[in-house]
Amino acid sequence: MATRTQIYKEILREYDALRTEQAAKLRQRKEEIYRRLPRVREIDETLSMLGVQTAKLVLLKPGDMQDALVEMRAKQKELQTERRMLLESIGLTPADMELKYVCETCKDTGYVDNVPCTCLKQKVMDKLYDQSNVRDIVKVENFDHFDVRLYSEQVSKKEGISPRENAMQILRQALAFVENFADGGQNLLLYGATGLGKTFLCSCIAKELLDQGYVVLYLTAGQLFRKLEEIRFSKDEDGEKEEWDKELLEADLLIID
Ligand SMILES: [Zn+2]
């Protein structure tokens, strides 16, 4: 199994590739826009020159510094307004001329003030557990798709309530679990025969919490135990095992299906 260092290296390479790709896309986008609106290129060139020109002016005539700055800011504002209006004329905004990030929080670097971003933690989890992408697992399911009408209204003699009423109670509890998640400490155990919707509910919960920025680990019991065994009984290269033990528990939510 890959060591911790290997996994981090691989992920940081992915971030790198992602930033390179986004930068290339931006260059392409800009060229296309400049082709359609040559005036925008002129404006951009002028804007980047403006600072230099002002600096020169200040050096040559230090006494006029205040006036020069005021004039520069006015010119800047005027050009930016013109630029925005030009872009809007073809259905774009100034944001289309800037880098786009998959994760706005860390700007696709994996870190915010040297602290790992949630997206980095999630990637580590995904790699550690060969979890292809938790978002793919939960893509389709969300609470909006939970249809209680699929359950019978017929009251069961054994349970004293109908399967539909039972499903609604479970749904309420699942929603409460998500709502109170930030307060922590609660576990949720769903049990019953196959095909009743446990996996579906798990996915709904995972999706909701992923959207709220939590790190989610979604595994079958088999996957989890295989991974624990692998860590427990594999050779301890560079004493990394202990670190992994810690990371295993780093997920905010662990779903064992
Ligand atoms: Zn991030």
120: its two tokens: 């980095």
- DSSP state string for 32-63: HHHHH-HHHHHHHHHHHHHHHHHHHHHHH-GG
26: its two tokens: 């931006």
Q: How far is the CA of 123 from the centre of ligand 1 (A)?
A: 10
Q: How far is the CA of 105 from the centre of ligand 1 (A)?
A: 5
State what percent of residues in the chain have pLDDT above 90.
26
SS3 (DSSP) at 255: strand
Q: How far is the CA of 195 from the centre of ligand 1 (A)?
A: 36
Residues 147 and 220 in one domain: yes
The DSSP bridge partners found for residue 216 are 253
59-92 residue pLDDT tens: 877 777 788 788 888 999 999 999 999 999 999 9
Q: How far is the CA of 178 from the centre of ligand 1 (A)?
A: 22
At 45, the amino acid letter reads E
- CA angle 22/27/32 to nearest 5° reads 125
Q: At what angle do helices 118-128 and 241-248 cross, to 10 degrees?
A: 110
Residues 171 and 222 in one domain: yes
C-alpha Rg value of the chain to the nearest Å: 27
pLDDT for the residue 152: 85
pLDDT above 90 (res 94): yes
Furthest CA-CA distance within the chain: 94
Residues 8 and 67 in one domain: yes
Residues 184 and 244 in one domain: yes
Total domain count for the chain? 2
Q: At what angle do helices 65-89 and 38-60 cross, to 10 degrees?
A: 170
Residue count of the chain, please give it. Answer: 257
pLDDT above 90 (res 147): no
State what percent of residues in the chain have pLDDT above 70.
88
Query: Is 224:149 a contact under the CB 8 Å cutoff?
Result: no
Residue 172 lies in a domain: yes
Residue 124 lies in a domain: no
Residue 83 belongs to domain spanning: 4-97
Query: Is 215:122 a contact under the CB 8 Å cutoff?
Result: yes
Q: Report how far Cα 16 is from the mean position of its chain's Cα atoms.
A: 16
Residue 28 lies in a domain: yes
Residue 226 lies in a domain: yes
Query: Is 218:138 a contact under the CB 8 Å cutoff?
Result: yes
Residue 120 lies in a domain: no
Q: How far is the CA of 95 from the centre of ligand 1 (A)?
A: 19
Residues 139 and 252 in one domain: yes
Q: How far is the CA of 109 from the centre of ligand 1 (A)?
A: 7
Higher pLDDT, 250 or 245: 250
Residue 244 lies in a domain: yes
